[in-house]
Structure 1
Amino acid sequence: MDDLLYWIGLAAVAVNALTGVLDAGRKRMDLVGVVMVGMATALGGGTVRDILLQRPVFWLSDQSYLLAALLTTVLIFFAVRNLKLPPRLFLIPDAVGLALFTIVGTRIALDWHAPWLAASLLGMITGVVGGVLRDVLCNEVPLIFVRGELYASAAWVGALALIGLQALNVSPVAATWAGMALVLAIRLAAMAYKITLPTYSARE
């Protein structure tokens, strides 16, 4: 299980770095700006999680994550910088990164003996904070705050599903894959069918 989480974590870092590059590219940033956005997107959520859990920050204790973020950012920058890409293209890898990071964050929180509700919220935080940093650095309203398709709620449902499956004695590997699939399915369905949460609408 530890090996699986390690590789999922690396994949999450790489995918989130990719979304940072694509979003920064829309703002016509230079290489330094793109690297800053990509690294913040890839490493931000896990950093906040580790600080809250008072555990060693993952990319400081294992430089592989840092290298994965940096290499992905630079390679994608040079691969796509002269291409005209659809403006919403980054939303697909963003959904994948959301699923990967949410489940990794939840499992790490559980391994550090966080209570189930706190673990689910830490999983959600791991999934969404990188995207928040990306959007802020790109001078955009973060997706989590936009009146749009399900985002943070998709992550939270997936995290709770993972915890529930483990409580039912489903194998950790199966629960992990099921949780990731659920986050991704909810997010993609929300994007496709414009599924949103109710909003506050006060009468004047």
Structure 2
Amino acid sequence: MLSLDLLGVLAFAVSGNLLAARKNIDIMGSLVLGLCAGLGGGMMRDVILGRVPNSLQEPIYLIPPVVTALTVYLLGQRALHARVPIVAFDALGLGVFATTGTTIAMDAGLPFASAILLGVLTAVGGGMIRDVLANEIPAVFNGSDLYIIPAIVGAGLTALLWGIGWFESWVALVIAALVFLVRMLAWHREWRVPSPMRGWSYSGARSVLPLRGRLFAFRRPSGRDRGVFAPRRSRRTAEPDDRDPED
């Protein structure tokens, strides 16, 4: 599982460094963001399990964030518009960590539900730290389509197959790929869970009620309010992004 865990660290580190480039953060800040994104979820998991985090026991875990920070720095201006790669690498890390986090929890003897919870925390924890440090709404709290649900599905499948003895390395790859695919489809197709009823207006409701049979008219939040992980279509309607006006 070490190679798969390192793949997750690499994926989240890339997403953190690309987000730092979009935010005009310098190379040291980019390195910090990549480290937090790549190692944050695993550290949370290991601390809850009451053991020294793997990333502190194995220095090899520090290599992917350092390499990606240097690579993104050398890319220069080309990294400023890399929004799709941010979402893609984030989705890859989500799938990998949902699988590895759950297997580590199951191997530690946790109950089925607790292992799923810890797997999901491993998957979303680093991304949450990354987004908070970069002044973004965390994708898990954002109206950004399905994010935590694919992680729950991946963690649940991992725990189920582990419990019945059908879990192998290739199964972990398949589950991680499934989570990645569902997350990217959700982002592209705008699949989302219901949002709170807000932004309605009486006049708007009167105009749509006879035509659509709806009780209220709702306003979808703008892409600017929803950050980097907003769906493609809603992001197009927003103003460019969070870079300085001079850019």
Equivalent in the alignment of 2:76 = 81
RMSD, aligned CA: 1.8
Contact 2:94 2:151 in 1 (8 A): yes
Contact in 1 for aligned 2:103/2:162 (Cα 8 Å): no
Given candidates 46, 59, 66, the residue that maps to 1:63 is 59
Which residue number corresponds to residue 180 of structure 1?
Answer: 176
Consecutive unaligned residues of structure 1, counting only runs of 5 or more, are none
User: How far apart, in 2, do the equivalents of 1:100 and 1:16 lie?
Assistant: 10
CA contact (8 A) 2:98 2:155 kept: yes
What amino acid is the match of 2:174?
Answer: A
Q: CA deviation at 1:174?
A: 4.0
Give me the whole-angstrom Cα distance separating, in 2, the residues matched to 1:82 and 1:174.
38
Is the partner of 2:77 in helix, strand or coil? coil
Structure 2: state its 5+ residue gaps: 202-247
CA distance in 1 between counterparts of 2:131 and 2:146 reads 17
1:73 counterpart letter in structure 2: A
TM-score (norm 1): 0.91
State the 1:126 CA deviation: 0.6
Task: State how 1:140-159 maps to structure 2 within 5 Å.
Answer: 140-159=136-155
Q: How many residue pairs end up in the alignment?
A: 199
Q: TM-score, normalised by structure 2?
A: 0.76
* Structure 1 residue 138 displacement after superposition: 0.9
Letter in 1 for 2:50: Q
Distance 1:20 1:171 in 2: 30
| Cα deviation code 1:32-81 (max 9, x no counterpart) | 11111111111100000000111221111111001222222222322x22
Map 1:154-169 → 2, pairs under 5 A: 154-169=150-165
**Equivalence map 1:1-204=2 (5 Å):** 5-78=1-74, 80-83=75-78, 84-201=80-197
Greater relative contact order structure (CA < 8 Å, 6+ sep): 1
